[in-house]
Chain A
Amino acid sequence: MPAFTAHRRLHFRVAVSAAAAMFVAGAAAAYGEDRPVAFVGGRVLPIAGAAIDRGTVVVAAGKIIAVGPVDSTAVPADAERIDATGKVLMPGLVDTHSHVGGGWGGDASGPIQPDVRILDSINVRDAGFRKCRAGGLTTLNIMPGSGHLLSGQTIYAKLRQADTIDDILYRDPDGRILGGMKMANGTNSQKEPPFPGTRSKSAALVRQKFLKALDYKRKLAAASDDAAKRPDRDLEMEGLLDVLEGRVIVHHHAHRADDMLTVLRLREEFGFKVVLHHASEAWKIAGELAKANAPCSVIVVDAPGGKIEAMDMSLATGAVLEKEGVPCAFHTDDPVTDSRLFLRTAALAVRAGMSREKALEALTLAGAKMLELDHRIGSLEPGKDADLILLSGDPLALRTQVLQTWVEGRRVFDREDPEDRLFAVGGYGASRDQTAHACCTDNRMAETR
């Protein structure tokens, strides 16, 4: 970054923090006990912008109000000060693909179920959420499985302390619940009728359903305000219209290169927004993915294989995508990989050639963009949600621990708290409230991941 820009940005920061401090005074009443919090003296990795060796981050009323060097960043007089000296601060991690919470989407009745919402089956007390917070995750895309061509609506979950599902939902200013649509192709969604038996049949079923939704849309438009002509409400069609009209992003499971290209072919035909998930063979077609500007949410596992479609999985996928300029985020696919070790995913990608900067971005801002939440999360910038993690050291180092996790300015994990620590390291009772369903290696689950 040229010095000129840095200079201007610094002035901007000071101005913002002064303004925000005044705002906080007024907001304090609304937030009750919430005081501003200042993390002082740590190495700050804002993701958007260069690292700050000794920095301060100030949060208030759930938002970040200042990020900058210690010497030039004002701390409000009433702020709770957290000494971050020798520690590292970075944005809360964004997991673009998780199955935490024990939710199931579509059932065995059919391959395409856009009316089904995962939010109707999630247990917010599931131990998995506590383990996510212990791993520094603050936002999840919670998905139904991949055993359907379309298994239902996902939710973008904010890992606040929660008593009900409403407590973890993201909503837009109009109150609309935010989430995506889960789709899958390849072998997972192939089975006995009415499910498809081949890849071509899979694509044909999806195309036919989207054509039906376009038809529904035309009828709605033709009816205009004439209630008599308007087609009956149809939850499936409404779910698909959210996709076709760009309000909801398709999160599409696809391992093989040809399956990814099939998804892009359907995107071309119907014009929906899509993120490719797992993307095991993305390294084979990185050039095509770059040309198509197709974002990839990638999983990193310790060995290839386990299913035929994943045989050519590579630790270097992130490195190849970076080189070709393809947007790349990481995900846990929890329980396939452990949310408490999400930082490790990025570190393994660096081992295989990805740059540190892009690997950290792939845990945060890149994922936020793939959920269209980057105006709120993914980086430490004034105005964004106060979702951040305090680390004992370099995020990519083996022995680094997540010390604290903060969501919207509230501490939701503290490694010094014995109960929180239990969920961080495991032990007797660390799966308490785990939702009882088939374990991760059970065939039923295995086939649908």
Chain B
Amino acid sequence: MRGTCRFAPFMLACVLAIADLPFARGEEPAPPLAIRGEVVHTMTGPAITDGVILVENGKIKAVGTAAQVPIPPGTRTLQGAVVTPGLIDAHTVVGLTGWINQPQDQDQLDPTEPIQPELRAIDSYNPRERLIEWLRGFGITTLHTGHAPGALVSGQTMIVKTTGDSVEEAVLRPAAMVAVTLGDDSRPGGDGAEKKSPGTRSKAVAMLRGELVKAREYARRRSAGGDEQPDRDLRREVFADVLAQKLPLLVTVNRATDIDAALRVAAEFDLRIVLDSAGEAYLCLERIKAAGVPVILHPSMRRAGMGETENISFETAATLRDAGIPFALQSGYEGYVPKTRVALFEAAIAAANGLTTEQALASITVDAAKILGIDDRVGALRPGLDGDIAIFDGDPFEYTTHCAGVVIDGRVVSDAPR
């Protein structure tokens, strides 16, 4: 480590010390806090010049110009050039997948069966995973995380804050969506994969429809009651919630063929769905819009490679904006190096390819919160919302800007520039 401590924020060995900050949620209420920014992006209206946010008991109490919102004497005050709501990563697998990338920290995908909606994200989430701290240091305060793409129905997702010593402390929504993958990536891998289903796109859709049909029958018989009702079945229960529109499907697709298949199944069973990744969404704009389906777009910097994602574009976020389709950005799933992306960086590339700064910010704050159904808690700076705030020493998207401070539920969880 010789001579490296002044780089402490970037030194992973040193970073561990930051993770030890006493940020545990559910303890005593956080003391009052004020944040003052030369520019404050509230995401509820135009940015405020010389703005102040007061936070009390973990919630935002007041937002306005410094003239409108005086800071009570003695209040701890953080300052920065640019202040935004705490950032939301609209889809990741971090916490189920960890940075070591060995079997003991890879719980995002169980390959034994193609359809397992009963797998809960809360049963695998590791709140101490170091990748969570890594993301938090860049201002990410909320994650929609859970089971990964790569199986037809891989399991459930959930929504957490990037704090907490246990999943119970971290969790905002224990069951958010059910993760479905259509297209080439729904095929099983590993030994003997060629004899496992689904082996084709059509088979995958048939299997999904079959499960939904069975779940509808199950729900009908359960609700009929009496001696004839079937035994409880976790798998069918989750699909029954999907059919009842209590849980949306998060359908990971890239090819236009598969986007259309997802819309077709959603229409047939009257499901709530969110399109995930959606690399070729620009070929299906009218149909996506007509279906009223939002998109959690692939990371801007996702590898194009061959096959499913070969036609992705840096400009799809701007195309969705032009089409009036609600969208958010995400860090996605990474299987190797880097083990995660950073939603802030992905939104930056969208900002360099057609989105305005405000629109790109919305894709990782208020718009993400709306798609995830948590805009009553996070995603904007207005009184009553959670005290989740990110502070930057410049344009948040510029490569050379640092995230200078992060606040979650009114507690300062990071104040070392990164």
A residues with a Cβ closer than 8 A to B are 283-284, 286-287, 301-308, 310-316, 319-320, 323-324, 335-336, 338, 341, 344, 347-348, 350-353, 396-399, 425-431, 434, 436-437, 439-441, 446, 449
The residue in chain A whose Cβ has the minimal distance to the Cβ of B311 is: A428
Are A305 and B339 in contact, with the CB atoms below 8 A?
yes
B residues with a Cβ closer than 8 A to A are 1-4, 6-7, 10-13, 98-102, 130-131, 134, 280, 282-283, 301, 303-307, 310-315, 334-342, 345, 348-349, 351-353, 395, 397-402
- What CA separation (Å) do A427 and B339 show in the bound complex? 25
**Distance to closest chain B CB from A277 (angstroms):** 13
Are A399 and B351 in contact, with the CB atoms below 8 A?
yes
The residue in chain B whose Cβ has the minimal distance to the Cβ of A288 is: B2
Partner of B301, one of A341, A347, A353, A436: A341
12 chain-A/chain-B pairs, Cβ below 8 angstroms: A286-B4, A303-B342, A305-B98, A312-B12, A320-B3, A353-B7, A396-B399, A425-B313, A426-B304, A426-B312, A434-B310, A436-B306
Are B397 and A428 in contact, with the CB atoms below 8 A?
no
Partner of B101, one of A308, A313, A344, A430: A308
Are A426 and B400 in contact, with the CB atoms below 8 A?
no
Q: A301-B338, A303-B342, A429-B311 are in contact. List 20 more A-B contacts (CB 8 A).
A: A283-B7, A302-B341, A304-B134, A304-B338, A304-B339, A305-B339, A307-B337, A310-B337, A311-B99, A314-B7, A323-B3, A398-B351, A399-B351, A426-B311, A426-B315, A427-B282, A428-B280, A428-B311, A441-B334, A449-B337
- What CA separation (Å) do A398 and B354 show in the bound complex? 12
- What CA separation (Å) do A397 and B401 show in the bound complex? 10
Are A426 and B100 in contact, with the CB atoms below 8 A?
no
**Distance to closest chain A CB from B239 (angstroms):** 29
Partner of B337, one of A301, A344, A350, A399: A301
Task: List A contacts of B101 (CB < 8 A).
Answer: 305-308
- What CA separation (Å) do A310 and B338 show in the bound complex? 9
Partner of A431, one of B12, B310, B337, B338: B310
- What CA separation (Å) do A399 and B401 show in the bound complex? 13
Please classify the interface of chain A as helix (H, G, I), strand (E, B), loop, or mixed, using the class held by over half of its residues.
Answer: loop
Are A344 and B399 in contact, with the CB atoms below 8 A?
yes
Q: Would A439 and B306 be within 8 Å (CB), given that A304-B339, A426-B313 are in contact?
A: yes
- What CA separation (Å) do A301 and B342 show in the bound complex? 10
- What CA separation (Å) do A396 and B283 show in the bound complex? 33
Task: List B contacts of A319 (CB < 8 A).
Answer: 7, 10
Task: List A contacts of B304 (CB < 8 A).
Answer: 426, 430-431, 434
Are A302 and B352 in contact, with the CB atoms below 8 A?
no
Q: Would A398 and B311 be within 8 Å (CB), given that A439-B303, A449-B336 are in contact?
A: no
- What CA separation (Å) do A360 and B13 show in the bound complex? 27
Are B338 and A427 in contact, with the CB atoms below 8 A?
no
Q: Would A440 and B311 be within 8 Å (CB), given that A306-B338, A308-B101 are in contact?
A: no
The residue in chain B whose Cβ has the minimal distance to the Cβ of A397 is: B398
Are A440 and B134 in contact, with the CB atoms below 8 A?
no
Are B341 and A303 in contact, with the CB atoms below 8 A?
yes
Task: List B contacts of A311 (CB < 8 A).
Answer: 12, 99-100
The residue in chain A whose Cβ has the minimal distance to the Cβ of B10 is: A316
Are B303 and A338 in contact, with the CB atoms below 8 A?
yes
Are A315 and B10 in contact, with the CB atoms below 8 A?
yes
**Distance to closest chain A CB from B80 (angstroms):** 16
| Most interface-central of B1, B306, B313 (chain A CB within 10 A) | B306
- What CA separation (Å) do A323 and B338 show in the bound complex? 26
Task: List B contacts of A303 (CB < 8 A).
Answer: 99, 131, 134, 338-342
**Distance to closest chain B CB from A393 (angstroms):** 11
Are A440 and B305 in contact, with the CB atoms below 8 A?
yes
Task: List A contacts of B3 (CB < 8 A).
Answer: 286-287, 320, 323-324
